[in-house]
């Protein structure tokens, strides 16, 4: 039973435009959410996180939005750059343990 | 200076063999993990160790046995390898609930 879902396996965006990656979760006990970026033949690298006490967190070109009532989070990248082309995973955890649940990833292609 | 390293990067072996994958982190983190990424690209946790103690053991066949000789190392030993074990295995570490740092992955192919 997958508690974190990324329903779009792929996304293509023109360079300079906004990329919006979406993630849905089912467990209302999740209180900490993260986004990771993964290049081929490498491990995922941490990008940005958000706690459930906030609804937005920004870091440079990356902004994560959290809608707790909809159990939905999104990652906005603006402006998108070709180097952003990678697979993006969202992950979530509860405050009771060290386990992170990952989505299946969205492959982003930024077209020059 | 690699933060989380895994060896080997590629592993090709036959069914029935026993193999190990090593993981080391030099970040001083207290928690280490093993994940399996299958053909559907789903990253699923297998084990988690906190200060050398097993705290998460998901539904994984007991052919898989993690070993943590110290806080900086978490090795994965697999007995009697099966075709379905073919996957990419990632080691990761974190300081408690903070973000995880992943190794480069070990691509295991069982023939």
**Yes or no, beta carbons of B99 and A49 under 8 Å apart:** yes
**Yes or no, beta carbons of B90 and A43 under 8 Å apart:** yes
d(CA B47, CA B24): 15
Q: Using a CB-CB distance cutoff of 8 angstroms, which residues of chain B are in contact with residue A45?
A: 101-102
Residues of chain A with pLDDT under 70: 1, 97-98
Return the pLDDT at A98. Answer: 67
pLDDT-derived band at B96, boundaries 50, 70, 90: confident
Q: Which two tokens stand for residue A68?
A: 């707790």
Express each pLDDT in B33-75 by its tens digit: 999 998 777 888 898 888 778 877 777 888 999 999 888 999 9
Return the pLDDT at B1. Answer: 63
For B9, the closest chain A residue by CA position comes to A41
CB A6 within 8 A of CB A89: yes
Among the listed residues B77, B105, B78, the one whose alpha carbon sits nearest the alpha carbon of residue B92: B105
Express each pLDDT in B20-40 by its tens digit: 999 999 999 989 999 999 877
Q: Is B111 exposed, middle or buried (0-12, 13-18, 19+ CB in 10 A)?
A: exposed
Return the pLDDT at B60. Answer: 86
Of the candidates B4, B35, B42, the beta carbon closest to that of A104 is on B42
Return the pLDDT at B9. Answer: 95
Residue B74 Cα distances to A28, A48, A77, B8, B33, angstroms: 31, 26, 35, 14, 8
Return the pLDDT at A45. Answer: 95
Return the pLDDT at A97. Answer: 62
Return the pLDDT at B43. Answer: 87
CA distance B104 to chain A (A): 4
Q: Alpha carbon B27 to chain centroid distance?
A: 17
Q: Using a CB-CB distance cutoff of 8 angstroms, which residues of chain B are in contact with residue A93?
A: 97
Q: Using a CB-CB distance cutoff of 8 angstroms, which residues of chain B are in contact with residue A3?
A: none
Q: Using a CB-CB distance cutoff of 8 angstroms, which residues of chain B are in contact with residue A96?
A: none
């Amino acid at each position: 039973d997958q508690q974190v879902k990324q329903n779009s396996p792929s996304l293509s965006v023109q360079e300079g435009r906004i990329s919006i990656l979406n993630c849905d979760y089912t467990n209302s006990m999740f209180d900490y959410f993260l986004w990771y970026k993964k290049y081929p033949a490498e491990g995922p690298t941490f990008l940005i996180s958000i706690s459930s006490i906030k609804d937005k967190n920004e870091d440079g070109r990356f902004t994560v939005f959290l809608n707790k009532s909809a159990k939905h989070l999104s990652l906005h990248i603006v402006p998108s750059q070709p180097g952003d082309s990678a697979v993006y995973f969202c992950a979530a955890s509860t405050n009771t343990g060290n386990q992170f649940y990952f989505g299946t990833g969205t492959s982003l292609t930024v077209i020059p | 200076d690699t933060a989380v390293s895994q060896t080997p990067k590629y592993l090709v072996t036959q069914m029935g063999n026993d193999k190990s994958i090593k993981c080391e982190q030099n970040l001083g983190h207290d928690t280490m993990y093993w994940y399996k990424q299958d053909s559907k690209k789903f990253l699923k946790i297998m084990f988690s160790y906190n200060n050398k103690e097993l705290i998460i053991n998901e539904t994984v066949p007991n052919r898989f046995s993690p070993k943590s000789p110290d806080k900086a190392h978490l090795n994965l030993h697999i007995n009697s390898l099966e075709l379905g074990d073919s996957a990419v295995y990632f080691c990761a570490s974190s300081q408690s609930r903070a973000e995880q740092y992943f190794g480069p992955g070990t691509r295991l192919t069982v023939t």
